[in-house]
Amino acid sequence: MIERTILVIDDDIDLVEIIRVTLEGEGFKVIDAQNGARGLRLASDEVPDLIILDVMMGEIDEGFQVAYELRNREETREIPILMLTAVVDQTGFDFDPEKDAEFLPVNEFIQKPVAPRELVDLVRKHLPTSV
Amino acid sequence: MDDQKPESVVNDPTLFVTAASLRGRSDWFIRLRWMSVIGVMTGVITADQIAGLPLPVKGIVITALITAILNVGYILHNRRPATSLNNEVRIVKVQMVMDLILLTMLVNLTGGIENPLYLVYIIHVIIASLIFKGKEIYQITGLAVILFTLETLGEHYRIIPHHHLMSASETIHEPLYMLMTLGAFWIVLIVAAYIGSTFMKHNRAIKDDLVQRQKELQDADKAKVDFFRFVTHEVKSPIITALSAVDLALDKNDGNEIVDNMLGRASRRLHQAIEIVKDLSDLTRGGMKSRGRKEKIDLAELTKKLLVSRKELIDSRNLILEADIPSSPVQVKGVPDKIEKILVNLIDNGIRYNHDGKRLYIVLMDVGSKVIFSVQDEGIGIKPKDQELIFEEFYRTPAARETSTLGTGLGLPIVKRFVEQMKATLKVESEPDVGSTFTVTFRKRL
């Protein structure tokens, strides 16, 4: 089986580490970036199999900007994106994943905190051609 | 008095009327003017036919007709949208000047100083002092003084005809009487203008001040909410990260019971911390009335949904659930999130503070213009002295603390606040160790 690479873009290094331990335990390779710009560069260079993106980094909507940019670039367009959000009514701006998902270029919204099992299941579900 | 837009006052302290508010005044004048035309016509017919006063009916009717024609002109003008303030000021001024001229004609035709009709000039001056400020008021007042003085002097010196109101009356040609009338008239008019303008100046100052303070309050409130959003986000992030770490450690733990036990406790308490942050956020954000759109909500469906989602929890406590919920929709109008929070908090309290194996009785009733929702438990109950305190933030009764570590102490304050915002009522009946009943009465307002 080929090793699948997951890119985690999140400015919380502890959370990145937790996700890394979770996913590496399941045999995935995890690379990470602490901000949007570095995340975009890494996504273009490494072309990971899936990207986990935090909705709120330095700027309130940095995650959204990164997601749009990923969808704009030829080489990253097809990569599935899981977007991590804080509890919805706490994001500080009004958006509703259920209603707004179709306007946002991500495959799934994951509400933090997410149980390790659940995260692994979601990653497997969205990996292309995974069984 | 003024229905001016507050922002115009805030942005431009010299501006005290807006084009729209002046247009409103102009429409009001038009209505008053129709009434005066009707009044004059009725008056002249009554005076001529019944009282038999020797009035120049034809002249008076013509004056009334001119007034009516001009009024139609003003109506046509007002049909076009109000464009600029200057334009509206100009048209209102034109109306006032024409009204004064027509009034002078009427005064002349109905006996001049013999007729107390000239008191109507005072009304014009008062209206001007309510609408305008400073020099405009005195321009209108000056015009009224000049017109009435010219009219009176004209009649006195027989330059214009004098129409007798009373057949033998000759007061107009009594210099002393004429001068006393004119003198009193000038003084009354100027004093009226002064009082009106001073009063309105004071009034406007108070209003400007209020508008300013209201704006400051709104700004402060917004700053508070913004700050709170920032704080809740900053607090929540580390909690979530810690919780994720604990959950991962729990997941990786191979059967060490002590580790499982401890991490399990840590995980539950971190969940509780997240709940507190969420509840606090609800309380501050929910405090803003403007938040959320009102919709029709079927409480029957919502209650059933909530009970289904809590079935496992209810079963784990061996509670006997009795739900008396109509099968047809029970609709109220409100913000969905807030209504759900009310129901969720009351139901969860009924579960949490019940004794194991006891009854949980949930009733939804449609009673005409109101809907009653109540949750009754047979649990720990609330002492009478605590029954008001439970609605205070973070207060939990000693019995509640003993029963469950997981409450946030914010559930009932949230319920109370949202109930108040919906203009619903909340009632609690409780006896220690017998149980509690919380009843919300919603107004339908469909």
Tens of pLDDT, residue by residue over B210-262, are 999 999 998 888 887 778 777 777 788 889 899 999 999 998 888 888 999 99
Q: Among B20-24, B155-159, B170-174, name the one with the lowest average pLDDT.
A: B170-174
* A18 interface with B at CB cutoff 8 Å: yes
Exposure letters B75-92 (e unless 16+ CB within 10 A, then b): eebbeeebeebeebbebb
Strand (E) positions, B229-310? 295-298
**CATH number of the domain at A5-126, please?**
3.40.50.2300
- Say yes or no to pLDDT of B152 above 80: yes
B14-71 pLDDT tens trace: 446 677 788 888 888 899 999 999 999 998 888 888 877 778 888 999 999 999 999 9
Task: Write the residue in B248, B281, B337 that is nearest to A21 by C-beta.
Answer: B248
A113 contacts on B by Cβ (under 8 Å): 240, 243-244, 247, 274
- Say yes or no to pLDDT of B7 above 50: no
Q: For chain B, give every domain's residue range.
A: 6-218, 295-443
3-state secondary structure at position B84: coil
Residues 6+ apart with CB under 8 A from B386: B397
The minimum CA-CA distance between B430 and chain A, rounded to whole Å, is: 33
Nearest CA in chain B to A92: B229
The minimum CA-CA distance between A109 and chain B, rounded to whole Å, is: 16
Write the DSSP symbol of residue B116: G
B399-444 pLDDT tens trace: 888 888 778 888 999 899 899 988 999 999 999 999 999 999 999 8
CB contact under 8 A, A87 and B245: no
Residues 6+ apart with CB under 8 A from B380: B353, B355, B397, B399, B400, B403, B432, B433
Per the structure block, which two tokens stand in for B305? 């949904």
- From chain A residues 61-90, the ones with a CB under 8 A of any chain B CB are 86-87, 89-90
| Mean residue pLDDT across chain B | 86
The minimum CA-CA distance between B297 and chain A, rounded to whole Å, is: 18
Task: Write the residue in B237, B243, B281 that is nearest to A89 by C-beta.
Answer: B281
pLDDT for B286 equals: 61
Q: Among A89-98, B360-369, B384-393, B403-412, name the one with the lowest average pLDDT.
A: A89-98
B240 contacts on A by Cβ (under 8 Å): 15, 86, 112-113
The model's confidence at residue B288, banded by pLDDT at 50, 70 and 90, is low
CB contact under 8 A, A86 and B237: yes
Could you tell me if B215 and B8 are in contact, meaning their C-beta atoms sit under 8 angstroms apart?
A: no
What is the maximal distance between C-alpha atoms in chain A?
A: 42
CB contact under 8 A, A18 and B237: no
pLDDT for A97 equals: 52
Q: Note the ipTM here.
A: 0.75
A116 contacts on B by Cβ (under 8 Å): 244, 247-248, 251
Mean pLDDT of A98-122: 78
Exposure letters B339-355 (e unless 16+ CB within 10 A, then b): bbbbbbbbbbbbbbbbb
Architecture of domain B295-443: 2-Layer Sandwich (3.30)
Mean pLDDT of B261-278: 88
Mean pLDDT of B155-178: 79
Mean pLDDT of B263-272: 90
Question: How many beta-carbon pairs below 8 A join chains A and B?
Answer: 55
A117 contacts on B by Cβ (under 8 Å): 251
The minimum CA-CA distance between A14 and chain B, rounded to whole Å, is: 7
The minimum CA-CA distance between A107 and chain B, rounded to whole Å, is: 22
A22 contacts on B by Cβ (under 8 Å): 248, 251
Q: In whole angstroms, what is the distance from residue B31 CA to residue B29 CA?
A: 5
> What are the phi and psi torsion angles at B257 (to 5°)?
-65, -40
pLDDT for B31 equals: 92
